[in-house]
Amino acid sequence: MILVTGGAGFIGSNFILDWIAATGEPVVNLDKLTYAGNLESLASLKDDARHLFVRGDVNDRELVAKLLAGHKPRAIIHFAAESHVDRSISGPDEFIQTNINGTFSLLEATRAYWQELGGVEKDAFRFLHVSTDEVYGSLGPGDPPFSETTAYAPNSPYSASKAASDHLVRAYHHTYGLPMLTTNCSNNYGAFQFPEKLIPLVLLNALNGKPLPIYGNGLNVRDWLYVGDHCAAIREVLAGGRLGETYNIGGWNEKTNLDVVNTVCAILDEMKPAANGKPYASLITYVKDRPGHDARYAINARKIERELGWKPKETFETGIRKTVAWYLDNMGWVEHVVSGEYQAWVGRHYG
Ligand code: NAD
Ligand code: DAU
């Protein structure tokens, strides 16, 4: 079996569903259930013995040690993190606690566990750390995309905390020989994404006739990766990645934020036209920019393609249609995650 941290979040829950469907191998899911964690995303596994949920903090070294000793996982996939850049700007503490200290605690517990394993189990063990392209900083319009050798230059408290965790992972491989793999991926989108992030936020605001907030001039560029493609990439890196290496994962889909929002609006116009007959894009509203807003992210994902044969299956056009359709079909999930805490964040952040 494998241990997944942060498996009730957006990517973690997609990963567990994908993993069990693809491999049938059991998963222990350790998640603190912050505002971003939601067990409803895993409702289809409710009576499935292959998914064991444990509520807890990755900082709780005793709990992690107990889980490792009790379940003897052959691998750990570490998703747990505070993940929203805007929240890291208004309150960085939790980002330091979970992303840096939490990763450190998990590494210490893993080191103690791994050192006690016998020959074959020790050789087969893997720790896969899920990180972000934001650690590389911001690109200019003509710069080549981030590769695995691009120097780190994180610009937000979030990306700085992820960069610190990547460095710890690297050091544990070099110093202790822990069998580490790191992945740095671009902006994910798809089912079960919490509506603080651009795509689900815009989608839900549009359906509710609310303004669609575009930071600055809307020309910042992100690379968009369909979450199902990301899950498949993680499986490939876990199975065949070279120890101590990092793999960039991207969708080859660079888009400005305005392009993304206009695309979501156009699909909604087609799938669920507004009652007042107006195009949803008429709700676009330019708001104050994010402080330190990175201009452009782009990923060179040739290494994972060359070494492991992984390429994304979805284009942005196919993935975004699936995503919009999923939200329209799952408004019950949305209503449940849009809690008091979510309302408070929207009130504080957007006024
Ligand atoms: P998310 O915010 O949706 O989910 C994070 C999960 O971690 C939640 O279930 C939360 O309850 C859990 N968690 C938080 N603190 C914890 C703690 N101390 N102990 C245990 N569990 C804790 O995040 P996501 O978008 O699914 O991202 C998952 C990982 O992928 C993160 O490490 C993030 O940095 C990375 N990443 C995300 C994206 C993206 O576009 N979403 C892109 C690149 C990398
Ligand atoms: O690049 C990978 C990263 O992608 C991950 O590491 C992060 O966990 C994830 O949150 C995401 O970070 P971004 O900051 O790029 O994602 P977000 O959805 O917050 O914003 C996407 C772009 O849209 C960004 O340029 C800011 C802009 N934006 C966002 C929001 C929430 C707006 O214009 N308006 C908004 O209301």
**Is 48 considered catalytic here?**
no
Inside any domain, residue 215: no
The CA-atom distances, in angstroms, between 309 and each of 19, 193, 224, 247, 302 are 18, 27, 20, 12, 9
pLDDT in tens, 125-153: 999 999 999 999 999 999 999 999 999 99
Query: What DSSP character marks residue 146?
Result: B
pLDDT in tens, 210-240: 999 999 999 999 999 999 999 999 999 999 9
What is the number of domains present in the chain? 1
Pocket of ligand 2 contains residue 84 by CB under 6 Å: yes
pLDDT in tens, 69-81: 999 999 999 999 9
Whether residue 81 contacts residue 97, with contact meaning beta carbons closer than 8 Å, is answered with no
Write the CATH number for 125: 3.40.50.720
Provide the pairing of β-strand 254-256 with 221-226: antiparallel
Whether residue 127 contacts residue 178, with contact meaning beta carbons closer than 8 Å, is answered with yes
Q: Ligand 1 center to residue 135 CA distance, Å?
A: 15
Inside any domain, residue 165: yes
The Cα–Cα gap between 201 and 22 comes to 30
Please report the pLDDT score of residue 216 as a whole number: 98
Pocket of ligand 2 contains residue 184 by CB under 6 Å: no
Inside any domain, residue 350: no
The domain containing residue 234 runs over which residues? Answer: 2-190+224-251+292-313
What's the mean per-residue pLDDT of the chain?
97
The two most distant CA atoms of the chain are separated, in Å, by 67
**Is 134 considered catalytic here?**
yes
Report field, pTM of the whole predicted structure over 0.95: yes
Inside any domain, residue 115: yes
User: Which numbered atom of ligand 1 lies nearest the CA of 185?
Assistant: 43
Residue with tokens 């990517």: 11
Inside any domain, residue 325: no
Q: What b/e string do you get for 278-315 counting C-beta neighbours within 10 Å, with b at 16 or more?
A: eebbebbeeeeeeeeebebbbbbbebbeeebebebebe
